[in-house]
């Protein structure tokens, strides 16, 4: 078998055919991942192959995911690929954000430049391509918003029917509107993300739905190429730290898999340390990592945060994320609503911008520099997971002093920038401009 599914648990490692429709190991219930018997052409051959593809116009070469397809050879027939030219997201240096965090240099890998505005597209191109390969016609996910926008676009583009389950009232209108516009059957459920995911996992098979949450190993394969693309863009110089927000923890699992495989295949000579930042109101992984044990994970029953993308109390991928943190000497930090809001405005002022969950990175880095966990001269790349325009209501409220934390406490608009009402009077406007 060149590619296969394999149980993630060290104690099991049972293998299954790559075209099985499985979300967990039938033998032990563990998470699954894609595994390969690599036919590596050699580290430098892969590096130059991937670099040279940037000069090509074919769809597969233009995708910042499929360009790296030798790293995820799960699909034999590449005509089944569904791509919207995802990936290709920039590395952006942000001096003002670096200064805010106490770093000499800080670089953002901005996944908000993706076709539907988040990193989910990197995974969804693979998940939907696998659905096509399996001949499935209905795909589904439970989502805090971005996965649903992404599945809606990719499934519709492929002629499949997307069915999405959302926690009613707790996703931003930006994300909901994307799902509607792309034509998904959109089911708003009066329950939180964790409850809906448990429900949908039970009914998926009966309803003929192929599940594309991040428990789907093919999503993880696509998301791991974010790490590979980052390394390619850095000319394979490994950062000291890679920092990302944590919700369901699929991204941490994916980045870890990407870095570890690149290390084991000899494309890099060390691993970066991974730091995951959670929102303080939804921080089960942060709590767990204080004293981690096999049976010590305690979900947060009623997670709350304005960063709705990461409002998740029972992240399914925690065992994979834990393993990644052990392997990379990684850590977890948490950030308050105020810290996230201010960090987000600072990222905006850098001319970059992002959605609230993404700003947890900068808030977390600032705390980790203050506690001397990250050193000022460390090479740090932070992943901005979603686009600024995903959650406009939050932005308007912050800048006009109306943003309130879930408990009702006001968020201070430390970097507020209110719109100013003015009449069309030249003297008044000119006087205002003199003060600029
Ligand atoms: N940032 C954004 C913008 C997200 O949308 C998500 C997850 C995360 C971070 C957390 O990533 O789950 O891999 O740890 N959003 C999912 C969704 C859950 O449904 O769109 P994670």
Q: What band does 1 get if pLDDT is binned at 50, 70 and 90?
A: low
Which residue puts its alpha carbon closest to atom 4 of ligand 1? Answer: 309
Q: Write 409-417 long-range contacts (CB < 8 A, 24+).
A: 409/337, 411/306, 411/337, 411/338, 411/341, 412/338, 413/345, 414/341, 414/342, 414/345, 415/342, 415/345, 415/346, 415/348, 415/349, 416/345, 417/345
Residue 147 CB–ligand 1 contact under 6 Å: yes
Q: Is 226 in the pocket of ligand 1 (CB under 6 A)?
A: no
Cβ–Cβ under 8 Å, residues 358 and 384: yes
Q: Treating both helix axes as pointing N-terminal to C-terminal, what angle do 217-233 and 250-264 enclose, rounded to 10 degrees?
A: 60
116 lines ligand 1 (CB under 6 A): no
Does 104 have pLDDT greater than 70?
yes
Which residue of 114, 189, 309, 315 sits with most ligand 1 atoms within 8 Å of its CB, as the best mutation to test the pocket? 309
Q: How confident is residue 39, by pLDDT bands cut at 50, 70 and 90?
A: confident
| For ligand 1, mutation pick of 124, 247, 325 (most atoms within 8 Å of CB) | 247
pLDDT at 358: 98
- Ligand 1 centroid–CA 171 distance in Å is 12
Is the distance from the beta carbon of residue 387 to the nearest atom of ligand 1 less than 6 Å?
no
Q: How far is CA 362 from the centre of its chain?
A: 15
What is the pLDDT of the chain when averaged over all its residues?
97
- Residue 142 Cα: closest atom of ligand 1: 19
53-101 tens-digit pLDDT: 999 999 999 999 999 999 999 999 999 999 999 999 999 999 999 999 9
Atom of ligand 1 nearest to the CA of 355: 3
Q: What per-residue confidence (pLDDT) applies to 435?
A: 86
294-342 pLDDT, tens digit per residue, is 999 999 999 999 999 999 999 999 999 999 999 999 999 999 999 999 9
Name the band, by pLDDT with cuts 50, 70 and 90, for residue 41: confident
With a 6 Å cutoff on the Cβ, whether 386 touches ligand 1 is yes
Please choose from 109, 111, 144, 285 the residue to mutate so as to test ligand 1's pocket, defined by most ligand atoms within 8 A of CB: 144
- Report the C-alpha gap between 431 and 436 in whole angstroms: 10
* pLDDT score at 140: 98
Are the C-beta atoms of residues 425 and 152 closer than 8 Å to each other? no
pLDDT in tens, 360-379: 999 999 999 999 999 999 99
- Residue 201's nearest CA partner among 192, 189, 210 is 210
Q: Which residue is closest in CA terms to ligand 1's atom 6? A: 309
- In the chain, what's the furthest Cα-to-Cα distance? 77
SS3 162: strand
């Amino acid at each position: 078998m060149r590619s296969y599914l394999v149980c993630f648990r060290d104690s099991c490692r049972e293998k299954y055919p790559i075209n099985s429709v499985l979300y967990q190991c039938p033998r032990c219930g563990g998470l699954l991942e894609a595994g390969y018997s690599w036919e590596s052409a050699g580290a430098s051959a892969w590096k130059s192959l991937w670099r040279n593809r940037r000069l090509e116009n074919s769809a597969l070469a233009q995708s910042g995911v499929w360009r790296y397809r030798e790293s995820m050879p799960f699909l034999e027939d590449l005509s089944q690929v569904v791509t919207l030219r995802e990936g290709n997201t920039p590395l952006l240096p942000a001096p003002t954000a670096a200064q805010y965090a106490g770093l000499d240099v800080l670089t953002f890998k901005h996944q908000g430049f993706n076709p539907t505005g988040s990193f989910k597209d990197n995974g969804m191109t693979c998940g939907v391509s696998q659905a096509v390969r399996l001949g499935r016609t209905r795909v589904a996910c439970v989502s805090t918003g971005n996965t649903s926008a992404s599945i809606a676009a990719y499934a519709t583009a492929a002629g499949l029917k997307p069915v999405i389950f959302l926690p009613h009232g707790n996703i931003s209108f930006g994300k909901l509107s994307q799902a509607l516009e792309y034509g998904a059957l959109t089911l708003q459920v009066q329950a939180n993300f964790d409850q809906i995911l448990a429900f949908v996992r039970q009914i998926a098979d009966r309803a003929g739905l192929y599940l594309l949450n991040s428990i789907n190993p093919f999503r993880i394969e696509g998301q791991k190429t974010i790490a590979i693309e980052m390394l390619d863009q850095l000319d394979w110089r490994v950062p000291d730290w890679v920092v990302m927000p944590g919700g369901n923890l699929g991204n941490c699992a994916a980045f870890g898999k990407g870095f570890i495989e690149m290390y084991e295949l000899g494309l890099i000579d060390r691993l970066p340390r991974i730091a995951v930042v959670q929102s303080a109101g939804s921080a089960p992984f942060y709590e767990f990592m204080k004293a981690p044990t096999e049976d010590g994970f305690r979900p947060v029953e009623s997670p709350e945060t304005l960063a709705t993308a990461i409002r998740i109390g029972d992240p399914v991928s925690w065992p994979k994320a834990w393993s990644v943190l052990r392997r990379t000497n990684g850590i977890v930090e948490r950030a308050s609503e105020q810290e996230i809001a201010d960090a987000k405005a600072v990222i905006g002022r850098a001319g970059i911008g992002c959605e609230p969950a993404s700003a947890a990175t900068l808030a977390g880095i600032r705390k980790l520099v203050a506690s001397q966990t990250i050193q000022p001269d460390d090479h740090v790349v932070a992943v901005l997971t979603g686009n600024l325009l995903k959650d406009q209501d939050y932005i308007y409220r912050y800048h006009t002093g109306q943003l309130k934390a879930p408990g009702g406490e006001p968020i201070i608009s430390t970097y507020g920038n209110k719109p100013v009402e003015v009449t069309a009077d030249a003297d008044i406007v000119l006087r205002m401009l003199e003060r600029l």
